[in-house]
Structure 1
Amino acid sequence: MTDVQGFYTRWAQLYDYIATAPGVRSWREHVVDTLSLSPGDTVVEMGCGTGANFPYLRDAVGPRGRVVGLDVVEAMLASARDRIDERGWENVGVVRGDATRPPIERADAIIATFLVGMLRDPGEAVSGWIDHLAPGGRIAIMNAGRSDRRLAAPLNLLFRLFVRASSPGGRLSRKSPAAALESRWRDASDTLRAETTAFGTERIGLGFVRCARGRRPADHS
């Protein structure tokens, strides 16, 4: 088991509590809205965790659509399955797998929230995700980073401390986990910008949350 898998296995319940907090829920609903999903669509979530995005994804694709969550941590998937069973969703399912080598076929849309900052090569991963989209398919990613807003500047120190405490191995790292998080976000969003059309990016949550989106062009290769 890798450090990441061990970390999230131990903290799956706490993660779910944070992932479904009121403010965080509004961010998740927002990034799902940017996908412009239609009833009947198939959407795949990379790194679905405990399924915190599932309610918004399922509402968007309706009962005729399909939601597939992918995660490598079995403890996270167990919580996601519980959420699915509690809601009685027959068109929502989860698969255990590595988001850098996703065992999926074509999808109308792909979403990843708070994942790209943990990947070793997020640019390569995003490029691979785009390959799994149908022509014209949509992709959206979301991750945290230090705020660039003057009023939020005093909170950046707290953010750096939170990232260090919540990152697998972060407390022992000599390098700044927050800086690494932002570097990986740049790699992911730069790839999205280069390989999609209708690219857009924005910051929400006082500037601490970054969202980017795009569409796979018909001639993407």
Structure 2
Amino acid sequence: MTREQTRRHNARRREQTRHSKAWYNALSRYYDVLVDPVQGRLRRRGIDRLGASPDDRVLDVGCGTGRGVVTLQDAVGSDGRVVGIDVAERMCRLARDRLEDEAPSEVVCGDALTLPFDADSFDVVLASFTLELFEADHRRAVLEELRRVLVPQGRICVIAPSTATSTTIPPLYVRLNDAFPRLVDSRPFDVSTTLAEANFEVVLTHFEWVLVIPVELVVARCGSRP
């Protein structure tokens, strides 16, 4: 990558982060009413399929208002630890309020492109309706970060709008994103293929339709890093 390409790449990253923060900060007050009824059922199914065990260390990427963190903390018990991370400060405040009595859970405000955690920090990662918010090259960078913070053979569940089962809806969604990027901020992608290309071993793939959008739930394992 040339210096100019790197500059443009980093500028897109910064713009994407600014847009996501502004949009989800504005949405935060209404998120549980407008969005969670649609996404919550699949998030809970993904957590169940992950099979988090007592004493697991778990990361919830794009944790929103913290509902997933609560469910995950119940799964790992008092010997486990769940960390939620979200780029929107208001989302983080709502999540911390929800988790006030859920020690040792924690919520960190930060960017999934540069996770503020050491390598091998987590046994399990949940990314529910998060990766589709990134452009393809940034999505690859996020997956590299998730591989870095996961232990070898650590488990990941990704839930996202998918291009794998429909030839019409995803392209329409992409065109809407191009035309109205602030209202339609998702970019459907082939979740299983993307995880495999990022050197994850796909264990389970499940498809559902949410409204008119095909959604893919994928559980995978992280192999050893080179």
TM-score, scaled relative to structure 2: 0.77
Question: Which amino acid in the other structure matches residue 50 of structure 1?
Answer: T
Matches within 5 A, 1:57-76: 57-76=72-91
Matched, 1:192 2:191: no
Q: Distance in 1 between matches of 2:42 and 2:155?
A: 18
> 1:92 matched to which residue of 2?
105
Q: Distance in 1 between matches of 2:115 and 2:145?
A: 9
TM-score, scaled relative to structure 1: 0.78
Matched, 1:32 2:59: no
Q: Distance in 1 between matches of 2:201 and 2:165?
A: 26
Matched, 1:9 2:19: no
Matches within 5 A, 1:13-162: 13-21=29-37, 24-85=39-100, 88-105=101-118, 106-120=121-135, 121-145=138-162, 148=165, 160=173
Q: Distance in 2 between matches of 1:168 and 1:117?
A: 13
Contact 1:192-1:199 at 8 Å conserved across structures: no
Q: Distance in 2 between matches of 1:97 and 1:220?
A: 24
> 2:11 matched to which residue of 1?
none
Q: Distance in 2 between matches of 1:34 and 1:126?
A: 20
* Unmatched 5+ stretches in structure 2: 1-16
Deviation at 1:191, TM superposition (A): 3.6
Contact 2:46-2:217 at 8 Å conserved across structures: yes
Contact 1:19-1:52 at 8 Å conserved across structures: no
> 1:203 matched to which residue of 2?
207
State the identity as a percent.
27
Taking CA–CA contacts closer than 8 Å with sequence separation of 6 or more, which of the two structures ends up with the larger relative contact order?
A: 1
Q: Distance in 2 between matches of 1:46 and 1:170?
A: 21
* Unmatched 5+ stretches in structure 1: 172-176
Contact 1:47-1:69 at 8 Å conserved across structures: yes
Q: Distance in 1 between matches of 2:67 and 2:173?
A: 24
Deviation at 1:169, TM superposition (A): 2.0
Deviations 1:5-56 (A, max 9, x none): 11111111112223432x5322111011121210110100111111121232
Deviations 1:153-175 (A, max 9, x none): 9xx59x959x75xx75247xxxx
Moved more, 2-11 or 204-213: 204-213
Question: Which amino acid in the other structure matches residue 23 of structure 2?
Answer: F
SS of 1:34's equivalent in the other structure is helix
Q: Distance in 2 between matches of 1:211 and 1:42?
A: 21
Indicate how the Cα distance of structure 1 residues 146 and 124 shifts in structure 2: closer, same or farther if over 3 A, else same.
closer
